[in-house]
Structures are given as structure tokens and as C-alpha cells.
Structure 1
Amino acid sequence: MKLSNIPFAKISATGNDFILFDNRTQIFSGRESEYFRTICQRRTGVGADGVILLENSKRADFRMRYFNADGNEAEMCGNGARSVAFWAHYLGIVDEKMCFESQSALHRAEIKENWVRVQMPTPEAWNLNIRIGEEYGWEIGGFVRVGVPHYVLFVDDLEQVDVPTIGHSIRHDSAFVHGTNVDFVQLLSPQKLRLRTYERGVETETLSCGTGAIASAVIAYRKKNIRPPVEVQAPGGILWVDFDRDFKEVFLEGSVTLVFEGKLFIVPERD
């Protein structure tokens, strides 16, 4: 390892927290999986659900690359998208309205103080007939990909669900070739639901999941007649999901908090 001073920001998006690096000068190659995993550790590192690299883009204002807490790169993160949009504006890279790219899509975003609204990928790869988890006695919602895979179950009492244990079991079910995030949903009204999510890559329950909020809302729309805009109550705060009938326009919005800025003094050696 070599010593250096690498500036970073710690941002929380309704409890989903991230370490962000301005990587426009290519400090990181994206192959630093072990390092990202190390700094995401809660007691020995900065502590976060994931790492975000803000990079240059040839077709948008900037590019977002997202790495889960296990160090592996993922296609998308909803709350991460809101966080990087906020940070890009904070750094003066963009105005209140912007367009940025991720692995999964181009995203329009708008910021009003600490409130961020981001356009998300069109839901795809629907499978509402899959029956994983029936043994728990809950109603199956189904599977959908919102940049990343999600499996939704409807429960009567969210507080009674052992999310870490059951989520881990379903997340690794052989039916999901690349694994899946698992969303446990309790409907509260025609436009309101509660959500707890076991996140793939973090490998435990998180306080909030943006793509999970979208997956839960759109599946509830198709199976439970819930209406947009949908208020999603996560343990870390409230998110709002809005979409049109054909899911061509899907938006996620909620608050974002810049927790602190700092410097990391140890970086991995180059290959």
C-alpha cells in the first residue's frame, strides 16, 4: 500500500449511505474491489453500503459507477444515483438540472436544496409467476429488474419478518442466476407502502433501497392496484416513486444528506 490524501464525501440517502470519489482524474481504475470492500467496513473503514465513482462522460454531464459493499461493481443503485446527482451539484459540476449515465441507462435528475428527483431505468424482465418463498405463507409479488434484480413479497406485518435470515435464503436461491435483492412489502393504503430490503452485495438489510422502492411500487401497481405517486416508507426515511402507465417514465425522489467530507490516506498499489 502507498500513502496519499484522497478526498471523499460520505452521503446518506434516506439511510442508504455511500462513499463518493471524484474520479474524473482517474484515481481509481475500478479494479480496486478489495479496497472498496475494506473502506466500506463499519468499524475499520469509513463505513458504507457502497462506493460511487463520479467520472467524465462523452454523452452526458458525468458518469456514475457503483460498487456494492462487497467490492463488486453493480449496474445501478437508485439512492446512489440520487446521491451522486446531489454531489455533482455540490461540487459545481452541474446546475440544478442534469443528465448523467450509469451502466444501465441515462438519467435525468433535478435538485431542490437537499431533495433529489432522478429518472430511473424502465422496469424489465418481469416474472410475476415465480413462486420462491411460498413456504413462509406470504403473497408472492414477483420478479422485476430495475437496473438490478428484485424479488418482491407482500407481508401482513413487516415488523415480524426476519429480513436478514429469510432475505439471505431467497437472495441465494438457484432460481436467480445472478442473485437478487429481496423486498418485503406491507401495503398501507392505495398510495402508500412500507418496505424492508435485503440488498445483494451488501448482504444484509439496509435502511433504504431506491431500486427496491421502485420494484415494490410497480409490482404493487400491477398486482395490488396501488396508484402513483407512491409513498414508500423505509426504515431510513420516506421515498416517493412516480411512473406512467407503461413505465416509460419512472422517477425516484427523496432527501439526501452530505454527512461529512474527509481524506483517505491509504490507497491500493497499482497493478
Structure 2
Amino acid sequence: MRIPFIKMHGLGNDFVVLDARENDLPDLNESIARGIADRHTGIGCDQLILLQPSDSADFRMRIYNHDGGEVGACGNATRAVAMLHGSNATIETDGGMLAASPRDGGASVDMGAPRFDWDAIPLAYPMDTLSMPVGWEMLQNPGAVNVGNPHVIFFVDDCDAVPLDRLGPEIENDPLFPVRVNVNVATIEDRSRIRLRVWERGAGLTKACGTGACATAVHAMRRRLVDSEVTVALPGGDLQIAWSEGETIRMTGPASESFRGSFEWDDYA
């Protein structure tokens, strides 16, 4: 069975998009998603995105990380599929309902309200998520935010100097995080700009992470380190994040279509 796909990216965080809103696809599982995402023997991507019909929104978006595991949210992919849809859309995800508006060269997305309770992250046991009494080498006293995905955030003097390729997987898989966690290391440059690197759960180091940018900006705002609208500078480029206490998060940034193609489903089944 020949299956069409669309290759897209948001600031270099890349996706293979399968559109099943009008035509059904065979059942997608972790093994098939991992095979498609493989950069050596598959199409290659950080995340595989499956679009499906929804009874409660314009469409449903399911997200599979590079390792084949399904996750609840992906901010960069949300901008990409908003561009693909071509008009304002509500999007059902396992992380909650999102609202996206295409803009020239990108999209603006209402990412929903952040969650801060320890059991909403989730953590293995209760603690203050604004300043957690834990650490890993030079990374100490992080904060935690759930924005559809669980994130832990460390503020450091120079995020580029952190060996995130080594510490990222250790923290991601620490027993403190029952469903694993995304690891963010950030440097506050001034009250309107944050520099950020992210180790993504199930994907590793990526050029950009939309939910990571949201979680980091919100945590910095809760700590009164930045203003309510900031630029988050990632290796792949900049995102604009806005949030006020009690409100939802607004993320704005670019997205692009790279190319289209097709593949034989049986090659990965």
C-alpha cells in the first residue's frame, strides 16, 4: 500500500506528517513509527505526526517521537500542521485542545494553560515545582512545568557549556519522572530574551522544541526573571512566547514544508 507523506519542520525540528483525515491508514504502532523516523533506513524525523478526524475539533493530531513512543504535545509540529491546514483550526491532542492560526511563514498557537502541581508533571513524590530540591552535577534546583508534555528547566550561566548529550538521558530516565521528562537548560540574556537547549524525551538533542520554549518561558516568568512576552532563542531559531498568570500560553514562530513523497507501508510493517 503506497502512503503519501509530507516532510515539514519548525526551526529544524523535523516531522513526517501522515494525513489520515479523509483516507484511513493501516494501524500505526511503535515499531512502524520508529522505522519511519529512522534517519538511516527510514524517511527520518524527530517526530512522526498522524492527522485524523476528530469529533471535538477540526482534526486530531497524534505525535510519535523518534523512538516510536507516543507523546501528548509538540509545539513546533502544531505550527507546521496549522500551515498545512491553511486556516484557523482547533486541534485535539492527548495533551489537550489547541487552537492555531496560520501566519505568513508560520503560525501562532494557543498552547493551553501550564500545569505546576507535582502530580500533574508528574513527579514520583510531592515537592515544590518552582524550586525542586534535586540536582545532577552542575544542574541544580530546577523547576517543572507540564505543557502537554512534562518538562524540567534549569537556569545556568551558559547553556551551551552544559554536556546535555550526557546529562540529558540521565535526567530524562531518572526515577523521579515516572513517564520520563524533557530536559531544558536555559540562560537568561535579559528580561526579553532566553537562550535555550533541549534534550527531548524519546528524541534526544533537537534544534528546537516548542513545548520546551513554552515551559522554560513560563518558569522564568513565574520566577520573575523575564517579562510576560519573551523571545526564546533555540539552536534552530527564535520563538515568541507570551503568558500571564492564570492565562493560556501563546507561541508564535515559523514552520516550513520541506518536500512530499510516498512509501510502501509494508516496508515498515
Q: CA deviation at 1:33?
A: 1.2
CA contact (8 A) 2:136 2:171 kept: no
The match for 2:3 among 6, 13, 19 is 6
Deviations 1:216-255 (A, max 9, x none): 0011011143112110000011111111222x22111110
Q: Aligned to 1:174, what secondary structure does the other structure show? A: coil
CA contact (8 A) 1:141 1:220 kept: no
Amino acid at match of 1:19: V
Cα distance in 2, alignment partners of residues 28 and 192 from structure 1: 44
CA contact (8 A) 1:105 1:121 kept: yes
Aligned match of 1:42 = 39
CA contact (8 A) 1:134 1:140 kept: no
Cα distance in 2, alignment partners of residues 66 and 269 from structure 1: 17
CA contact (8 A) 2:185 2:197 kept: yes
Normalising by structure 1, we get a TM-score of 0.90
Cα distance in 2, alignment partners of residues 212 and 148 from structure 1: 9
Cα distance in 2, alignment partners of residues 174 and 145 from structure 1: 17
Q: CA deviation at 1:197?
A: 0.3
Q: Aligned to 2:179, what secondary structure does the other structure show? A: coil
Q: Aligned to 2:141, what secondary structure does the other structure show? A: strand
Cα distance in 1, alignment partners of residues 242 and 268 from structure 2: 44
RMSD between aligned alpha carbons?
A: 1.6
Aligned match of 1:21 = 18
Structure 2, unpaired ranges of 5+ = 118-128
Q: CA deviation at 1:134?
A: 5.1
Deviations 1:31-79 (A, max 9, x none): x211110111112211100111111111211111111111111111111
Q: CA deviation at 1:121?
A: 2.5
Cα distance in 1, alignment partners of residues 147 and 90 from structure 2: 18
The match for 1:62 among 54, 59, 63 is 59
CA contact (8 A) 2:72 2:95 kept: yes
Give the length in aligned residue pairs.
257
Q: CA deviation at 1:172?
A: 1.1
Q: Aligned to 2:258, what secondary structure does the other structure show? A: strand
Q: Aligned to 2:116, what secondary structure does the other structure show? A: strand
CA contact (8 A) 1:132 1:170 kept: no
Cα distance in 2, alignment partners of residues 64 and 120 from structure 1: 14
Aligned match of 1:144 = 145
5 Å-filtered alignment, 1:173-212, equals 173-202=174-203, 204-212=204-212
Structure 1, unpaired ranges of 5+ = 90-94
Aligned match of 1:123 = 114
Q: Does 1:259 align with 2:258?
A: yes
5 Å-filtered alignment, 1:92-171, equals 95=87, 97-126=88-117, 127-133=129-135, 135-136=137-138, 138-171=139-172
Q: CA deviation at 1:143?
A: 0.9
Percent of paired sites with the same residue: 34
Amino acid at match of 2:59: F
Normalising by structure 2, we get a TM-score of 0.91
